[in-house]
Structure 1
């Protein structure tokens, strides 16, 4: 699996950074994800073929996240969000990662630099379900310790629009 922040099964993915035109296309897609290629091309003043080629390249390079990241787990009956910070035995990191990827409630796993090894975003139906999920994580071979925090409120949604705006504007002073 390859994603903007992840790795392919064989290791890290090397991506070519988006350029100014990529950012303009992505900004328009971020604003209206259902835009057609023709509509994007018209709004940006470029050809439909250019838009299509750029989007195809961005998708092939792993620079676009899966569409399922737009789905709010609350709409699926999972109103509880939590983060589980995990310390693992380093030689068993891949075992833990494989086990985490099997749990449907695990939304994302990030490798950390620092005193803890993994940051695991999970969704749960209620407090009892969260207790069950954290128990599953704690019981995984290779897990040394966990610390769970329930998300009380989201103050800033995940976003990239400000980064796209900056890149689409081009170098400072131009």
Structure 2
């Protein structure tokens, strides 16, 4: 899908605050409210906008974040993924190329909770090895 300059401006405005009323978006972009609503409907229909979400403020963000790189035994990926789905601290799981098979992002409210979560991951049937990277600070975040 090709986006024009107005679409990009609309998406940028929504990225700042997805709760901005359509009338305010229209005023900000210098467009009619019906035009903005039609563009939003088109962007949603074509998959450019998948939904509107809540971003946690500092008061609700977990204290710790970590990335776990996991090497999985042959043919054990479904078993490991089932285990990871059952761990609430696991936020995302990506498959990767290279010496690790999975890249897992997790959160915890304390080092003890992080340690327990890492133990649960390491004990999972099919996990051959893992390496943990604890996030210290965020320098760039373009995730919105």
Distance 1:149 1:75, change over 3 A: same
CA–CA distance in 2 between the matches of 1:81 and 1:65? 25
In structure 2, the CA distance between the partners of 1:129 and 1:21, relative to structure 1 (3 Å rule), is same
Higher Cα Rg, which structure = 2
Following TM superposition, the consecutive aligned residue runs of length 4 or more in structure 1 with deviations greater than 6 angstroms are none
CA gap 1:126/1:34 in 2 versus in 1, 3 angstroms: same
Write the deviation string for residues 94-138 of structure 1: whole angstroms up to 9, x where unpaired.
332232222211122222222212111111121111111011111
TM-score by length of 2: 0.80
The answer to whether structure 1 residue 93 and structure 2 residue 72 are counterparts is: no
**2: CA distance, partners of 1:99 / 1:47:** 50
Q: Tell me the CA shift for residue 153 of structure 1.
A: 1.4
Aligned equivalent of 2:126: 142
Match of 2:53 in 1: 67
| Larger fraction in helix | 1
CA RMSD of aligned residues (A): 2.6
The answer to whether residue 139 in structure 2 is matched with residue 155 in structure 1 is yes
The unaligned stretches of length 5 or more in structure 2 are none
Correspondence for 1:80 among 48, 52, 64: 64
* Count of aligned residue pairs for this structure pair: 143
2:26 counterpart (41, 51, 59): 41
Higher mean displacement: 89-98 or 40-49:
89-98
The aligned residue for residue 113 of structure 2 is: 129
CA distance in 1: counterparts of 2:32 and 2:52, whole angstroms: 25
Q: Partners in 1 of 2:51 and 2:98 — Cα distance?
A: 26
Pick from 21, 27, 37 the counterpart of residue 6 of structure 2: 21
Cα distance change, pair 53–101 in 1 and its aligned pair in 2 (3 A) = farther
CA distance in 1, matches of 2:23, 2:61: 37
